[in-house]
Amino acid sequence: ILSPAVDERFPEKTLIRHLTRAVGPVLGVDAKQVAAAWHAGCEAQAEYQRKLQAETHRVLDRLAAENKPAFVLVGRPYNLYDTGLNVGLPRKIAEYGLPVIPSEGLGFRDDDIEPRYHNTYWNFAQRALAAVRRTSQAPNLYPIFLTNFGCGPDSFTLTYAERTVGRKPMLVLELDEHAADAGYVTRVEAFVDVVRELEARRLAGESPEASRTSSATVKGVLSRGDSGEKVGEEWKKRRIWIPPMHVFGTGFIAAVFRRNGIDARPLPVEDREAFEIGRKLSRGTECLPTAVTIGGLVKVLREQGADPRHEAFFMPTAEGPCRFGQYCTLHKLILEDLGWGDIEIVSPSSYNNYQGLPESVRRDMWTGILAADVLYKAVCKARPHEREPGSVDREAAVRQALLEGALESGRDWEPVLRDAVEALAALRGDGPPRPLVGVVGEIYVRCNGYSNGEVIRAIEAAGGEGWLAPIGEWILYTSEMARREARTGTNTFNPIEMAVTVLKDGFLRREEHRIYKLAGPFLADRHEPPVREVIDTGTKYIPEEFAGEAVITMGRAMLFARHGASMVVNCAPFGCMPGTLTSSCLQEVQAHTGVPMVSMFYDGDLDINGRIASYLANLPRPRDAARPPAASRRDDRTLWS
């Protein structure tokens, strides 16, 4: 299998190098031959696109002159053109007597996408939204959107497309291996009847209702390339709500905001009511954090009778491939539907290390995140062995309040964290050893107690001890990728940008080492591996160029297994794109290491953590644990804590 990283954002020289490295040794070609082939392929593709678009516009001009309708098929190329996947639907639709035009023939222009969807970073999703918008603006064209069951990007793209097309009808056909041909044909027939009726009214001079297409931007979003000054300071004057991503981290981040003069409040951990609110307000096919975060916010604001003009919501963003970067856009649409469009959404981006926030806030947030990670590690190590049930949780609550107070007031918080770890360590008894279970996966689901059904407590109840991959891992990963981007990425090398990025990355790493040292000997065996090692380990399965959490999920899971964890739990929302990839790859890791890799897909409706108890119950105990085969014995021993 030849699988080069082909990313057309790369400079051509970089792209050719990737191609040559992947195919050169196998095909016996050098970089010059690869470059020539690449140029020839690009020219052939461009010529095809020119011919296709010319023919398409010739047909469109004729249809407009004759005042005749047509269908525009929207979707990914493999859905539009593969007659196996689409069960021949384009031909079947054409048999009803109306022309069928592939959206690719319309061409693509950046300004075809509404400004509010500027961060729709998937290429095919961009083209689909552009096609739907152009179709909605032509009175005689009607879109038919071909999608797939469980398609991650389309869980958001379809919502955007429906809002773009407004009151104009659009048919959505979801393809999967179970649907029968007759079911699709029935829906097509109904859609054809609707279109013919509308066309009859249009030709009779009746004006259909205008589209509700809007071009408003998402107010308050800080995204790629933006700065705090560009967006303005208005959000700092509001009360800003922070989703409950982490049992300690959310409160610490809110305290950091307050220390810097911004009224911030942590949202309470979601419950069933918040989840149901979020599901009703969203499409329902988005990943779980989409629903629970907006549901938690709406629930609190309704309970308080809040004035939207005085509220803000902290929801960072990204630029893919994970769906997380779409949350802020969809949340804004939902709030507008509720009549709360005045709520500002503050969305610093991982692309630029969350620039746009005040520098003091960014710096102190990192401190708060690390303190939260350390405190939670101490809880996870002490609680399974506590002498008195509940004592660790009670002590942790006290220490959490003390740390929040210190972070907010600006007092020296380091002794408070040191004392907290020592107090928790003193509550750990000398019970029998427990198997250590590493927890990796999608960052919100693995850290949020409601989303994962309290997976750490489930591990403890089943006789294990949990080690949660920390929030800080993601911050260090984005910093490492920014440093890589400055050195070899899509932009021209900029020595000043590189120097600044290296300095900031160095600060993050130094702070991590310093704060983990505060935990002393109790957490000496709970330090995290360098993020570069995590990435390099994960690239055995996931290319580094495929940016996002998949590579660090793989890398951290493999390092847990390599360093002696008895089991690894991979947490992800149901339908998660990176989670689906890592779940498959981790089966091979399990086969090689003998360490169970348990992938858990959560949807908010069902407690599935009972599987963890089954796996833990079948782990070999220390006295009968067999040595792994010599071929896989590289630190794969079972670790009992």
Which long-range contacts link 47-55 to residues 24+ away (Cβ below 8 Å)? 49/104, 49/107, 52/102, 52/104, 52/105, 53/105, 53/106, 53/107, 55/105
Lowest mean pLDDT among 123-132, 169-178, 267-276: 169-178
Q: Could you say which DSSP state residue 144 is in?
A: E
In SS3 terms, 483-530 reads as HHHHHHCCCCCCHHHHHHHHHHHHHHHHHHHHHHHHCHHHHCCCCCCC
Residue type, 343: I
Q: Which of 12-21, 23-32, 376-385 has the lowest mean pLDDT?
A: 12-21
Q: What does the alpha-carbon distance between residue 470 and residue 425 come to, in Å, rounded to a whole number?
A: 19
pLDDT of 142 strictly over 70: yes
Residue 572 Cα distances to 130, 263, 448, 550, angstroms: 31, 32, 11, 11
Residue 264 is predicted with a pLDDT of: 96
d(CA 469, CA 534): 11
8 Å CB contact between 417 and 400: no
155-165 pLDDT per residue, tens: 999 999 999 99
Read off the pLDDT of residues 173-222 as tens digits, 9 standing for 90 and up.
999 877 667 789 999 999 999 999 999 998 888 765 543 333 333 333 33
Give dist(CA 99, CA 96) in Å, integer.
9
Kindly report, residue by residue over 111-126, the tens digit of the pLDDT: 899 989 988 999 999 9
444: its two tokens: 């919100």
Following CA atoms 118, 123, 129, 135 in sequence, which dihedral angle do they give, to the nearest 10 degrees? 130
User: Would you place residue 350 in the very low, low, confident or very high pLDDT band (cuts 50, 70, 90)?
Assistant: low
Type of residue at 404: E
pTM: 0.88
CB 60 within 8 A of CB 101: yes
Position of tokens 């599987």?
Answer: 611
- Integer Cα distance of 101 and 72 in angstroms: 5
So what's the pLDDT on residue 41? 96
User: Is residue 550 within 8 Å of residue 581, measured between CB atoms?
Assistant: yes
Contact assessment for residue 140 and residue 64, using Cβ atoms and an 8 Å cutoff: yes
CA distance 539 to 493: 24
- In 3D space, the residue among 304, 310, 319, 301 whose CA is nearest the CA of residue 344 turns out to be 310
Q: DSSP code of 115?
A: G
Which residues contact residue 458 at a Cβ distance below 8 angstroms, ignoring those fewer than 6 apart? 609, 610, 612, 613
Tokens of 521: 């000997």
Q: Reduced to 3 states, what is the DSSP secondary structure of residue 71?
A: strand
CA–CA–CA angle 458, 380, 316 (5° rounding): 85
What single DSSP character describes residue 582? H
Q: Is the pLDDT of residue 128 over 90?
A: yes
Per-residue confidence band for 275, with pLDDT thresholds at 50, 70 and 90: very high
- Tokens at 507, concatenated: 């600060």
230's CB contacts (< 8 A; 6+ apart) are 356
Of 1, 33, 36, 31, nearest in space to 17 by CA? 31
pLDDT tens column, 72-103: 999 999 999 999 889 999 999 999 999 999 99
Q: What is the pLDDT of residue 436?
A: 96
Both tokens assigned to 393: 């949780």
**In a 3-state reduction of DSSP, which class is residue 73?**
strand
State how far the Cα of 640 lies from the Cα of 491, in Å rounded to an integer: 47
Q: Is the pLDDT of residue 353 over 50?
A: yes
Under 8 Å between Cβ of 447 and 245: yes
Q: Which two tokens stand for residue 217?
A: 């931007």
Residue 468 · residue 456 · CB < 8 Å? yes
In the chain, the percentage of residues whose pLDDT exceeds 90 is 71
What pLDDT is attached to residue 496? 58
Tens-place pLDDT, residues 299-313: 999 999 999 999 999
Residue listed under structure tokens 């014995």:
633
Cα–Cα distance between 471 and 446 in angstroms, integer? 10
More confident residue, 465 or 6: 465
Structure tokens at 582: 């890592």
Which helix (H) or strand (E) is 533 found in, with range? helix 531-538
End-to-end CA gap in the chain: 42
Q: Could you tell me how many residues make up the chain?
A: 641
Which stretch of DSSP H or E encloses residue 148? strand 141-148
Cα separation of 82 and 31, whole Å?
33
